[in-house]
Amino acid sequence: MKKVYGSAAEALDGLVHDGMLIAAGGFGLCGIPELLIDALVDSGVKDITVASNNAGVDGFGLGKLLETKQIKKMMSSYVGENAEFMRQYLSGELELEFNPQGTLAERMRAGGAGIPGFYTKTGVGTVIAEGKEVKQFGGEDYILEEGIFADLAIVKAWKADTTGNAIFRKTARNFNPPAAMCGKVCVMEVEEIVQPGELDGDHIHLPGIYVHRLIQGEHEKRIEQRTVRTKEGA
């Protein structure tokens, strides 16, 4: 089965449709599938729901899809770095489903494992629990959260072989593996593609069975918030 494609647009061909649910990997600006996001912008797909830890920043990452108003709803845990996101949400143009960060990661992982729902204490007694089933275990309340089963997963890895076995670097490992797992189809972009057997099996974070298509490309290395110390006395 051929998994390596020549471009992001080729890798998404036939997979994109209006109203779909997309799981996107990344943590802040680390490990985001920027090439696939650009291809989604170019595709013109609209009314999509995106499950992602955050919403990118203005003019980069998912922020591009927000600027073109292709996203109808975000399922996220942190959205504080995007002014356009705030504007659309406060004006009622964008739906938002807030998730505690660990809950969002587990919803993705559960979907990838075929688990339709699980109970958690996180969010009990808050707005997060509104409308959700509550059940007691050991005399304590837990709320039911549903697994995420996305139509498409878009993720970024550091290195992968041609079968899709992938390695993620540092913080990029937070959400990319669970996002990849929960997609009915997973498309992955990587910095380097190698031949099978070149990766140490003990170092692989995501087995290739979860990855259906992949591309190699150049990626921009951004710093989300740069803080520097002024020279003493300056």
**119 CB burial (10 A radius; 0-12, 13-18, 19+):** middle
In a domain, 142, yes or no: no
Locate 160 and state its tokens.
């992968």
**234 assigned to some structural domain:** no
Question: In which residue ranges of the chain is pLDDT below 70?
Answer: 221-226, 232-234
Examine residue 127 and state whether it is found in any structural domain, yes or no: no
pLDDT in tens, 4-13: 999 999 999 9
Alpha-carbon distances, residue 98 vs 29, 37, 76, 123 (angstroms):
19, 21, 5, 11
State the pTM of this model. Answer: 0.91
Rounded CA Rg of the chain = 18
Q: Is 102 exposed, middle or buried (0-12, 13-18, 19+ CB in 10 A)?
A: exposed
Q: Report yes or no: 143 and 107 within 8 Å, Cβ to Cβ.
A: no
Distance from C-alpha of 176 to C-alpha of 173, rounded to nearest angstrom: 6
Range of the domain at 50: 8-116+149-216
Task: Copy the structure tokens of residue 17.
Answer: 């449709």
pLDDT tens digits, 91-120: 999 999 999 999 999 999 999 999 999 999
Task: Give me the number of domains the chain comprises.
Answer: 1
Answer whether residue 200 is part of any domain: yes
CATH of the domain at 50: 3.40.1080.10
Do the strands 71-76 and 48-51 form a parallel or antiparallel pair, or are they unpaired? parallel
Residue 96 domain-assigned (yes or no)? yes
Residue 74 lies in a domain: yes
Check residue 12 and give its pLDDT: 98
The partner residues of 98 in beta bridges, in order of sequence, read 76
Q: How far apart are CA 71 and CA 45, in angstroms?
A: 9
